[in-house]
Amino acid sequence: MTRNLLATCVMSLAFAGVGYAQGTAFSSETDAHYTKAQLKQLVLNAHTPEQYSALASYFEKQRANYLQKAEERRKEWVQLSQNGTSRALKVPRPADSVWNYYEDYMHKAVEASTLEAKYSHLASSDILASEQ
């Protein structure tokens, strides 16, 4: 009993540490990965073309990331869907779950693309306004 409790505590701390590390991690390309709070603050405080460009760049990278994940899920779906179509299979099938992930990633990619276009437009319109 004590051993299970100890193992659970250690795993909880490990997962918390990993979650914290992912929330504050920076990529090797010197491009920051923002936490949700940091991104929300950046969106609220963005008023300059540079800030809008940074947001557009962030959402462009997010779109590319989601499209890559969607492609991985699509390939996995193709592989799983080739397995038999017996009536004895459990519902939902593993292929159905993978397809749901694919659709979710595609939806997120579209959202990121929309936000990237919005902030690119704001950055360019601010540049044009400042030149006049």
DSSP state of 116: H
Residues 20 and 46 both lie in one domain: no
Chain mean position to CA 33: 10
Residues 73 and 108 both lie in one domain: yes
Cα–Cα distance measured from residue 96 to residue 88, given in angstroms and rounded to the nearest whole number: 15
Residue 13, pLDDT score: 47
Number of domains in the chain: 2
Cα–Cα distance measured from residue 6 to residue 97, given in angstroms and rounded to the nearest whole number: 33
Residue 125, pLDDT score: 80
Residues 23 and 39 both lie in one domain: no
Cα–Cα distance measured from residue 51 to residue 123, given in angstroms and rounded to the nearest whole number: 8
- In which domain, by residue range, is 89 found? 34-131
Residues 47 and 23 both lie in one domain: no
Residues 4 and 68 both lie in one domain: no
Residue 26, φ and ψ in degrees, nearest 5: -120, 145
pLDDT tens track of the chain, all 132 residues? Answer: 555 544 444 445 454 554 544 444 433 344 568 899 999 999 999 999 999 999 999 999 999 999 999 999 999 999 988 876 666 667 778 888 999 999 999 999 999 999 999 999 999 886 656 555
Residues 18 and 38 both lie in one domain: no
